Structure 1
Amino acid sequence: MAKVFNRSATNTYCRTIAVLLLLLWRNILIVRPENGVADDGVSSRKTSPDGYLRVAGDGEGSSFKVALFADLHFGENAWTDWGPRQDLNSVNVMSTVLDVESPDFVIYLGDVITANNLPIHNASYYWDQAITPTRARNIPWASLFGNHDDAPFEWPIDWFSSSGIPQILCPSVNSSGGDECSFKGTTRLELMRNEIAHSSLSYTGFGPQNLWPSVSNYVLTLVSPKRDPKLPLMFMYFLDSGGGSYPEVISSIQSEWFRNKSQEVNPDSSVPEIVFWHIPSKAYEKVAKKVVGKRTQCVGSMFQERVAAQEAEMGMMKRLRERSSVKAVFVGHNHGLDWCCPYEKMWLCYARHTGYGGYGNWDRGARILEISEDPFSIRSWIRMENGTLHSEVILST
């Protein structure tokens, strides 16, 4: 990863052009509408008036497809030539996946931005860039937080060399108090409020205040036009696994929230459930040991690093094991892992590193989920940046 700063006039000019090109590309995407879009910008075939997610169509073979974008790391090293170029590469990855798969829904699985590299007042500027390809195609989405999304700014040591602190390009559109730059960071609450306030396609939700500083804790319901609305097809739970401004954990009160919420919406566990968060739990470490010993039926193409798990297990996996309705958990965080492995009565899955920011040079892609209704099944595969498909697995029938 290049981190050396060059103060020459030529490089400053190149950085300015790169940022302008990124903004131009964003504006081009935003004005490109798709067919079948309602007046409010939400595709009427994908969502219902009550805000629930809806399976497309009412015939045989109807399904709901979800694309998972993990670890995009927008804004990383934004003061160099390298940074804006990686963001453009990440846009290309997402655009390819969206155009090939045409998903009904997108989930941003954490580390949308690299906040520790963002010296601007409102990091939502880069968060918005990351969401642009999805918004441009009028596809609804939801997001949750990773460990980098509100991490405190890290001063690069290069800035304190003899050449001095560089002229940082900070978007003036996000300035406040007359200053273009700020090193205080943008909180989870600020990021989420901005997304919800400015995005009619966002299904992201605030968690209960008693869970804060953990923020992205909520549940979405998938319904079908063929079913009674009181009989959902599936529940999708989103949890904030911490990191950044506080420890990397799913707290005991979060696990208790999940227990209460799942009992409320799915008391008899008759409806399938899937769960999303960013940092893998300790259970992923247990599964990985079996992978090394070749004693498990894992499906994937990358087993390139050790699991970097949460700091502690505080009851969430126990809650999941208690519910026969939980079919799979999906995480990001480890860029060199993309497997799905059986664990107890569920599957533990990684997404695929989607963004060009962050560590590692592995090929980029995205995990795809397809929830079919009749008969019910959850199928998953990896779609790569070059358009190829691999690692198909049936997670539930």
Structure 2
Amino acid sequence: MRKLAHSTFLVIHLLFHHTLVIIVINGSQVSCDLTVSNIRQIPEILLSQKKSSLASTFKIALFADLHYGENAWTDWGPQQDVNSDKVMSTILDQEVPDFVIYLGDVITGNNIPVANASFYWDQAISPTRSRGIPWATIFGNHDDAHFEWPMEWFSSTGIPQVQCLEHCSTVSEKARSFRSTTRLELIKNEMHKNKQYSFTKNGPINLWPSVSNYVIQVSSFDGRNHHPISYLYFLDSGGGSYPEVISSAQATWFENQSYAINSDSRVPELIFWHIPSKAYKDVAPRFGIHRPCVGSINKESVAAQEAEMGIMNILVNKPSVKAMFVGHNHGLDWCCPHEKLWLCFARHTGYGGYGNWPRGARMIEITEKPFSIKSWIKMEDGKKHSEIILS
């Protein structure tokens, strides 16, 4: 790796329909790129799909609120994970996205009885990994939540039982402590085991305890130069082990990063975090969903972050920010305008978590020429709805 003299970014390349994706974060530049002659990081099957396409587009699937590992000690819980596998597999096979974003609450940490939640995290990303599709993750409020004793453990024998899957090592004192698997442990495990496809980063250490704060740059490549098309920002909105908030430090970090790489606001920016900001409450539709909002379910009130510490003021005053995407509320899937940007919910993807609404995923498609950002909901039954042009 060679150091960049005046940059705080790491650059890694991915394929973008005859173009490239570049990740930007933290200090060094990876010199290799993924051209046709140097394609080791992307399997040939993915390359052949891109070569057959004439459209210069980049498609993203958002998988929100999977909640793997919920009620893991029952027959019901593991079956929900199987059902979630099927939802993701259907969407991945039908939409064939270029990239996947796991939008928080990948697991239900408060239901996982040993400090080994990474097993469920690995299971949740396996449909994407097995297809050779790159991905990135951010944290939700359940991912590292403290374990909660299920009352039924006391009903039969009166002695809480350690539940350990086959992959676990022998039940140890560490396992018997029932401590949660931390954010940092989860993210480091993902990065270590999935170096080929995981583009997740644990972000600047000075933003701790928030972990998943990083930037992805989507660029085109004309054979000589890379041309930025869009920046994707990922922020950790807390919950679980710390308050549900985007801190003032994170807001400053975003402002500084955006100024450093996009000072003239020429390149469009998209924002991803898990828990909606209070601005979502301001624009939430009442009594159904009506234009200019677009969506299909509006079944609950917005459960927003605990406080607003400046991030929204920065976003609404930056013309390059086009849309924000969150999960958390399983009964909402709308997009509504706020100032000059769009506030969007994903669709509840996993069978874990509350609610019986049909599962699906929000799709995002970035087109280079003419530039546009389009989004829609893809359902587990294959139907598509709520298409909207965001830019």
TM-score by length of 1: 0.84
Does the C-alpha gap of structure 1 residues 293 and 92 become closer, same or farther in structure 2, counting only changes over 3 Å?
closer
**CA distance, structure 1, for counterparts of residue 366 and residue 204 of structure 2:** 28
Decide which of 205, 216, 221 is 2:212's aligned counterpart: 216
Question: Which residue pairs with 1:42 in the alignment?
Answer: 42
Does the C-alpha gap of structure 1 residues 59 and 373 become closer, same or farther in structure 2, counting only changes over 3 Å?
farther
- 1:280-319 aligned within 5 A: 280-288=276-284, 290-292=285-287, 297-319=292-314
Amino acid at match of 1:238: F
Amino acid at match of 1:134: T
Secondary structure of 2:128's partner? helix
Secondary structure of 1:342's partner? strand
Superposed displacement of residue 322, structure 1: 1.5
**CA distance, structure 2, for counterparts of residue 104 and residue 111 of structure 1:** 22
CA RMSD of aligned residues (A): 2.4
Superposed displacement of residue 158, structure 1: 2.1
Secondary structure of 2:251's partner? helix
Question: Which residue pairs with 1:111 in the alignment?
Answer: 105
Q: What is the CA deviation profile of residues 331-387 of structure 1, one whole-angstrom value per residue up to 9, with x for unaligned ones? A: 000000000111100000000000000000000000000101110100000000011
Question: Which residue pairs with 2:367 in the alignment?
Answer: 372
**CA distance, structure 2, for counterparts of residue 164 and residue 280 of structure 1:** 41
**CA distance, structure 1, for counterparts of residue 301 and residue 109 of structure 2:** 24
Pair 1:151-2:145 in alignment: yes
Question: Which residue pairs with 1:383 in the alignment?
Answer: 378
Pair 1:246-2:270 in alignment: no
Question: Which residue pairs with 1:161 in the alignment?
Answer: 155
Decide which of 253, 257, 263 is 1:261's aligned counterpart: 257
**CA distance, structure 2, for counterparts of residue 157 and residue 120 of structure 1:** 16
Question: Which residue pairs with 2:57 in the alignment?
Answer: 63
Does the C-alpha gap of structure 1 residues 40 and 165 become closer, same or farther in structure 2, counting only changes over 3 Å?
farther
**CA distance, structure 2, for counterparts of residue 43 and residue 59 of structure 1:** 16
Question: Which residue pairs with 1:90 in the alignment?
Answer: 84
Superposed displacement of residue 163, structure 1: 3.8
Question: Which residue pairs with 1:174 in the alignment?
Answer: 168
Decide which of 186, 191, 194 is 2:189's aligned counterpart: 194
Decide which of 101, 114, 135 is 1:141's aligned counterpart: 135
**CA distance, structure 2, for counterparts of residue 38 and residue 168 of structure 1:** 47
Q: What is the CA deviation profile of residues 106-144 of structure 1, one whole-angstrom value per residue up to 9, with x for unaligned ones? A: 000000000000012221000000000000000000000
Does the C-alpha gap of structure 1 residues 371 and 43 become closer, same or farther in structure 2, counting only changes over 3 Å?
farther
Amino acid at match of 2:271: V
Amino acid at match of 2:56: S
Amino acid at match of 2:165: P
- 1:71-90 aligned within 5 A: 71-90=65-84
Does the C-alpha gap of structure 1 residues 45 and 371 become closer, same or farther in structure 2, counting only changes over 3 Å?
farther
Select between 72-81 and 115-124 the one with higher mean Cα deviation: 115-124
Does the C-alpha gap of structure 1 residues 214 and 46 become closer, same or farther in structure 2, counting only changes over 3 Å?
farther
- 1:326-341 aligned within 5 A: 326-341=321-336
Q: Judge conservation of contact 1:69–1:107 (CA < 8 Å) in 2.
A: yes
Secondary structure of 1:231's partner? strand
In the TM superposition, structure 1's runs of 4+ consecutive aligned residues that sit over 6 Å from their partners are 36-39, 44-47
Does the C-alpha gap of structure 1 residues 127 and 252 become closer, same or farther in structure 2, counting only changes over 3 Å?
same
Does the C-alpha gap of structure 1 residues 385 and 168 become closer, same or farther in structure 2, counting only changes over 3 Å?
farther
Q: Judge conservation of contact 2:288–2:298 (CA < 8 Å) in 1.
A: no
Does the C-alpha gap of structure 1 residues 229 and 184 become closer, same or farther in structure 2, counting only changes over 3 Å?
farther
**CA distance, structure 1, for counterparts of residue 346 and residue 253 of structure 2:** 25
Q: Judge conservation of contact 1:121–1:185 (CA < 8 Å) in 2.
A: yes
Unaligned runs of 5+ in 2: 1-35
Does the C-alpha gap of structure 1 residues 64 and 281 become closer, same or farther in structure 2, counting only changes over 3 Å?
same
Q: Judge conservation of contact 2:245–2:307 (CA < 8 Å) in 1.
A: yes
Q: Judge conservation of contact 2:219–2:230 (CA < 8 Å) in 1.
A: yes
Amino acid at match of 1:245: S
**CA distance, structure 2, for counterparts of residue 308 and residue 73 of structure 1:** 17
Amino acid at match of 2:242: Y
Pair 1:129-2:123 in alignment: yes
- 1:10-29 aligned within 5 A: none
Superposed displacement of residue 164, structure 1: 2.2
Does the C-alpha gap of structure 1 residues 136 and 277 become closer, same or farther in structure 2, counting only changes over 3 Å?
same
Secondary structure of 2:145's partner? coil
**CA distance, structure 2, for counterparts of residue 57 and residue 248 of structure 1:** 43
Secondary structure of 1:249's partner? coil
Question: Which residue pairs with 1:275 in the alignment?
Answer: 271
Q: Judge conservation of contact 1:56–1:63 (CA < 8 Å) in 2.
A: no
Does the C-alpha gap of structure 1 residues 165 and 227 become closer, same or farther in structure 2, counting only changes over 3 Å?
farther
Does the C-alpha gap of structure 1 residues 295 and 86 become closer, same or farther in structure 2, counting only changes over 3 Å?
closer
Matched residue pairs, number?
Answer: 353
Secondary structure of 1:195's partner? helix
TM-score by length of 2: 0.85
Q: What is the CA deviation profile of residues 195-217 of structure 1, one whole-angstrom value per residue up to 9, with x for unaligned ones? A: 00000200001111110000000
Unaligned runs of 5+ in 1: 1-35, 48-54
